[in-house]
Structure 1
Amino acid sequence: MALDAAVGCTKPAEAPIAIVSGTAGVGKTSLAVHWAHRAAGAYPDGQLYINLRGHSLDPALSTTQALALLLQSLGVPSGSVPVDEQVQIGLYRSLLSQRRILVLLDNASDVNQVRPLLPGTPQNQAVITSRDSLDSLVVREGAHRIALTEMDPSESVHLLRTVLGASRIDAEPDAAQALADLCAGLPLALRIVAAQLSAHPDRTIAEHVCDLRDSDLLDELQVHGDPETAVAAAMELSYRTLPEDALRMFRLLALVPGPTVSRDAAAVLADVTPRAASRSLTRLTRAHLLEEYRLHRYRRHDLLSLFARRLVDEIENDHDQTAATGRLYAWYLQTADAATGLITPSVSHHERKGCPTLASPTHLRASAEAAAWLEQERANLIAAVHRAADAGHPNMAWHLVDALRGHF
């Protein structure tokens, strides 16, 4: 298991720090707590657990608050806990140096919240869960990072089977798969829909799938009376920690018609330089609100896309959305024209009357590079044709089709 290798269960690890990172609702805490219970025998002096509330409706714990709680767990009476933060850190590490303990720091916001709480001795291990990648701990402390991703379709159905029972899943295998697909492989969402069905044993899975499809999915993925359990609320807690440029980028990416986006397309969409776009995209990937699955290409699961769509409609006015979409479609069209011109120069195109233009579309140097761009953007270009037509922009739709005529 990855945590066994990263932390070490039977002997001190070379780098006794493991980071379990991932997007909201992916199961970081569940994994870390489950592993800690299983590894309890390797830590004869016990385990310490603290929820740092880095992404929570409640205020995050300060360093002094967290250290006070940890010191009390180590046997220091509350009245004897030092007030000075540096004295707290010294006492905390002195007490740990005499023991072999696992410290589980759950829900950390950033490295500044975590670093003073690290044991500082090789015989003590620390496991940290965070929605942030905590890169600085990897660089300076040599921490091992384990990035959790969404479940694949078979794993998603297996989780539903665990909660609902094999007979119910086996009776409706196609509906169970459709339900798993709606949840985008997110364990939190899967557990919520499974709990909803458990409360209604007479309801079929197919009926529940239909109800979810006909409703606002994010509104339905919640447990009433527990606001932090809602999928949208969990995403909101990650979103609101970002700087403004990353917030805007996150919202505008909802306007991309296809399943992925390149750095250059994101830059055009936000009307910023590629370098500025890279900074925003990197911040989103560090917060696990976006995945860089290939160099300078990004994607996110469907529930995050729904959340971004909700935000862009709430915050960005119609004029700004139209302008951003116009820039993106102009970039698609001009770059597609340049690409097909390199590959099939003998195929002529219609004059681009009434189409917006950009001062600097992506420069393609050779036919091989042009073919690679067309292949990478194929799904987005086809989706752009349909989106433009559906949005009442037939001029852009047929010009995009004309641009791709030679390629197809």
Structure 2
Amino acid sequence: MAAGRQIRVLILNATDKLDRTLFRVKKGFELRFKLGPSLAALPVEILTNYPEAGQPFQRHQFRPLSWHTGGHNEGDGGDKHCSLHLKRAGSFQFYYTCSGERGGCGAVVVDPELHGRRDNEIISLDAIAMQTLLAKCLGPLNEWEKQLHVAKETGYNMIHLTPLQPLGSSRSCYSLADQLEISPAFAPSGGGNWQGENGWKAVGSIVEKMRKEWGVLTVTDVVYNHTAANSEWLKDTPECAYNLVNSPHLRPSWLLDRAIWHFGLAVAEGAYADRGLPSKISSDEHLQALRKILDETIFPPLKLWMFFQVDVNATLKRFKDLLNKEGVAAKSSGSPNDLVIVQDPRFQRLTSSVSLVKARQVYGNISKEEAVSRFEQHLSELNKGKRQETASHQAQAVNCILGTVAYERLA
């Protein structure tokens, strides 16, 4: 063992549930896996996706670890262990098999080494004092230093910058119009070749100066999943975004969103001024008028509850056809509570369903007419429940709308 090497031992037991436990170790440590009493006598193999030296990391590629003993007697399993010499930072997984069957699993986070002014100066993760700055507010790159120097002088040793890529039309710090380019908003006021690699190098120079001269580190976000609506990439590959073709469950939400959008345009044009809702909302009375119009005029025509209900008449017809063909079940089994609405995956109106086979079993040992009558009553109750559930969602939607308007217009 190398002098000064820190060793951490993880003992594995058959009954341990390690999949929800995170083990954190420092870079350069040795992690030893040892078997507890419940596994010591069994043929156990430990596998990990921590790569061998010189090999790239592959998240789903696992390799077995070799067993070693600390003594000269290979038959002595008292110090039997597997080792990982943790020389690279990151999040890694492990699991073990027993007689070829997969057993427990877990994860290990190897802390990175953060270097300060000098390469041999290590800043502990527990010593980080970080300030977040909105990159879009920093201005041209040649003005960054005076902006960032405030953080240094107030004792911060790390600055978190929101994404540096071009922002979309919403101007949200995380809604990116181009994930690969640097924002033109940072172009130095003096001009010059700024885009592409030159821009990233210029940012890199400032980041390195902050580290070496100020002792201040920099971190930023990698954003893959939040793309602006006006992104050219999204126009070229629309299938990469949520839409009503690949995500039909969004049909009710889309319909509601469109209704609110058109309603907002109408409010801005003064179309509801005669109902107490002017284009410029400035009082609680206006908010209450907004609530009333949403509840009484905007939401009812949408009939959103129909996306989650069954067509009672069509379902009863199919149930009658089944009873005419199979007859009423000789005896009843199950409970009406077992008959639940199965959501139509296409999310069309009145196209959800209830299991007719199960309904035949529930309404057994009675006349066909009675079975149909009871099933009809149950379907009506199920539809009523869906309508009530949708009404509660709509009420919450109205509250959210009013909350946002109150924050933006009255706060």
- Shorter chain as denominator, the TM-score bin is under 0.3
More helix by share: 1
Structure-1-length-normalised TM-score = 0.27
Structure-2-length-normalised TM-score = 0.27
Greater RCO, CA 8 A, separation 6+: 1
Larger radius of gyration: 2
